[in-house]
Structure 1
């Protein structure tokens, strides 16, 4: 359904906070977003939701953002889909970006489909490529299809914002530019926006060797050929020596 498409301008990325720090996928998204925004001649903005993050958001500007919208509240310390989707939907309806992208992480895969439904638009998941059709000012979204045997190209011509999730590690972050300036806009939400059907009881951190697989540069993987569980120790030792993580098939 076409809905005042000309009113939508700008490119947005969804930043992520983990354990009180801005996660590197936020900078990967800014690299994607910067290229799209420059082609369209519009501003690049990043959204960050969490608690005690106001003093960290300038890093998003140094990595490519022109604006950062910050929602900082103790109730948002941990990710929960209900408040995040309500807040993001409200911000999109207020500022009307033409493109809104997130990383295909647990957060992005959870919250973006909810926002898509609320905003009555489209969403292309797990993209490996993003570009702009300058003739139509449309986002060209490329993603694997049919078990990865073909690459599908998808456009969203009649709805806004054009929404995508992008595979982590699909683009390198831009170099840090300390002299770059931008605007930080603090947004306040309370009441109904912060309500959730889910209550966080506790977090149990999984003990792993190296970084989580999705964040690792090196993965030492094994399969059935290892034969005996006692041989996993050799895999762990090799992963530690290489500074990598352990995976299995």
Structure 2
């Protein structure tokens, strides 16, 4: 059993983390600009949009939340949006568990605090750097997460001002940025046609559900159906 010790953030680790996500920053920035523009069109103030990106820091969940945003909230609406965001973010449970070796030498407080900065991009980066950093040194993770957080926040602010000037974000395909971003993330996860079956199940169920209901519940049904299909497919 490892004894928890202080957080080790080496300068070399910080530099490695920042350098590792430079290639991802253009996509993250475009993603953030898109969110800021959509947030402006949904009636959020600049402070609201910036606080959501700065405190929540969860791109996909923020898009889901903003797409189901209501000016006049009801209990049903609040519960629905919480369920949707929870389902979207449930992937972070397994992603966080896979980072346990990175944080195993840290005390629970610092470890859980750092997990609050975990995103798809930083997680992928840490998986690629596995074995390349010293045990207990979270400098690479902090460097990557800090760079992504700063880029996301600044892009949201820029996007909000852009959204205030653009009457229809869809005219410039800003509504497709999230789809393109996550499609690119799926590429390194490809493990053959058979392993892609749950993706197809989730897509089919989501499209069918969306065709019969105007709510965002199709995300919930698509996610659950894909997870169930993956569970039966797993040998």
TM-score class, shorter: under 0.3
TM-score (norm 2): 0.23
Higher strand proportion? 1
Higher helix proportion? 2
